Structures are given as structure tokens and as C-alpha cells.
């Protein structure tokens, strides 16, 4: 039976790497899929991993009808066996509903990858809807680590190395940005609550 599967985890836990691995495994068996992404760190229309792997993808803009796109591809004679959706947290609730329709009405597997909560520990709308609709939710087993060595469970936004808790929900950044820019860091709950990043901890020593 086709499934809508949500692979979730913090930043830096290998979500995009797994998405690329699933794509590789299926394409090696002669299957063809559509890859959607939104606001990838490598730029528009890219699915990239922090390990340096990159592949082309369809940029799923906020007004795109994902179900309609797949139907149009099939009607034009394209073979579509599955969907991979990276950065699924950035999709709207309506777009997640469209992915469920791809599974139920077209009989295709959909593999969605994303983080569940933002830098304020609030659910992204796309992730919330995936939790509500997914046939299966898989927590990534590669654990990201806080600077203290504990398991990282929270995503923090930083500006100049200092953690911030206000601002737009979506600001594209990366864990490898210079400290003066908007960046992100994964923290354990204790240090997220204390707003203690690796930079602020180093200054306190």
C-alpha cells in the first residue's frame, strides 16, 4: 500500500542525506520520482545535503498545487513512481493535503522530510499537518549533538552568535554561517531554555 511517510528530526541529523539516498536507491532500480523542495540552502530548485551532495529538484512555491503538478506530469507521459519532498516544514497545510491526495488518489508513495518545530519551539504548519495526516512518522536515528555533548532536540536561531526568540518563522540560514549573520544551531532543551549557544558558552568561560 502506498504511504505518506514523514521523516522528522532536528537540523543536522541527516534528513536531506536520507532523501538523496532514497532517491538513489529507487532510481537505481529503474523507478522515477519527482523531487520537491522549498528554500534549500543551495538555492532554488536544489536538494542538498551538508555532506556536499546536490541534485536538481522542483521548487515548491507557496502557490504551487503539488497534486496538480504530478497529475500534469503523468498526463504528459512522464513516469512518476514516487515523490520526495524535502524541507516539508515550509509547505502550507493545503500542500500537505495535496500530498495525501497523491498517495490516496494516484497510489504513489510520498517521502516527506522536515524539522517539526521552529526556533521558538512552535510547530511549523507543514509539519503539524504531516503529523496529523502521515501514515507513518519516522524519527531520524542520527542524533545531532548540542555543544555540551548532549542530544540536541531544539533548533535555535542566532544573530552574531546570540540566540534570538523573536522574528519571522522562516528565515533561510545554515549551521555553517558566519557568526555575524543569521544562523542556526541545534541545542539540548536545557541550553535552549537558557538561550546558551556555543558562542555565548565560550564567552562565559
Task: Indicate the pLDDT class of residue 170, thresholds 50, 70 and 90.
Answer: low
> Which residue, among 157, 166, 170, 156, has the nearest Cα to 62 in the 3D structure?
170
Pairing verdict, β 154-159 and 162-164: antiparallel
Residue range 172-182: mean pLDDT, rounded: 57
* 12 backbone dihedrals φ, ψ, rounded to 5°: 70, 20
- At 120-133, the pLDDT tens digits run 888 999 999 999 99
> Which residue, among 139, 184, 187, has the nearest Cα to 41 in the 3D structure?
184
Task: Indicate the pLDDT class of residue 141, thresholds 50, 70 and 90.
Answer: low
The answer to which of 34-43, 155-164, 168-177 has the lowest mean pLDDT is 168-177
Residue range 3-30: mean pLDDT, rounded: 86
Asked whether the beta carbons of 10 and 152 are under 8 A apart, the reply is yes
- At 64-74, the pLDDT tens digits run 999 999 999 99
Residue 205 CA to residue 182 CA, distance in Å, equals: 24
Using DSSP, state whether 77 is helix, strand or coil: coil
DSSP 6: E
Pairing verdict, β 4-8 and 136-139: parallel
Question: Is 75 one of the annotated active-site residues of the chain?
Answer: no
- At 73-95, the pLDDT tens digits run 999 999 999 999 999 999 999 99
* 113 backbone dihedrals φ, ψ, rounded to 5°: -125, 135
Predicted local distance difference test score (pLDDT) of residue 119: 87
Asked whether the CA dihedral 166, 170, 172, 176 is positive or negative, the reply is positive
- Other Cβ atoms closer than 10 A to 195: 14
Is a pLDDT exceeding 90 seen at residue 166? no
User: What does the mean pLDDT of the chain come to?
Assistant: 86
Predicted local distance difference test score (pLDDT) of residue 132: 97
Contacts of 115 (CB under 8 A, 6+ apart): 8, 9, 10, 11, 15, 89, 124, 127, 155
Using DSSP, state whether 85 is helix, strand or coil: strand
Active-site residue, selected from the candidate residues 44, 87, 132, 185? 87
Does this model's pTM top 0.75? My answer is: yes
Predicted local distance difference test score (pLDDT) of residue 201: 79
Task: Indicate the pLDDT class of residue 191, thresholds 50, 70 and 90.
Answer: very high
Amino acid at each position: 500500500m502506498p504511504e505518506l511517510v514523514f521523516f522528522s528530526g532536528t537540523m543536522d541529523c541527516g534528513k536531506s542525506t536520507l532523501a538523496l539516498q532514497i532517491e538513489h536507491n529507487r532510481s537505481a532500480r529503474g523507478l522515477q520520482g519527482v523531487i520537491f523542495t522549498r528554500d534549500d540552502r543551495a538555492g532554488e530548485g536544489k536538494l542538498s545535503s551538508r555532506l556536499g551532495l546536490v541534485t536538481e529538484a522542483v521548487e515548491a512555491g507557496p502557490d504551487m498545487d503539488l497534486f496538480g503538478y504530478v497529475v500534469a506530469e503523468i498526463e504528459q507521459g512522464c513516469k512518476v513512481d514516487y515523490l520526495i519532498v524535502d524541507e516539508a516544514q515550509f509547505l502550507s497545510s493545503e500542500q500537505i493535503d495535496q500530498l495525501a491526495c497523491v498517495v490516496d488518489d494516484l497510489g504513489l508513495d510520498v517521502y516527506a522530510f522536515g524539522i517539526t518545530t521552529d526556533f521558538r519551539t512552535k510547530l511549523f504548519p507543514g509539519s503539524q499537518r504531516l503529523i496529523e495526516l502521515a501514515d507513518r512518522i519516522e524519527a531520524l536515528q542520527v542524533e545531532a549533538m548540542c555543544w555540551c555533548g548532549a542530544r540536541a532536540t531544539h533548533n535555535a536561531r542566532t544573530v552574531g552568535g546570540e540566540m534570538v526568540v523573536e522574528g519571522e518563522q522562516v528565515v533561510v540560514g545554515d549551521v555553517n554561517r558566519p557568526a555575524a549573520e543569521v544562523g542556526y544551531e541545534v541545542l539540548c532543551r536545557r541550553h535552549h531554555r537558557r538561550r546558551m549557544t556555543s558562542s555565548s558558552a565560550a564567552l562565559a568561560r
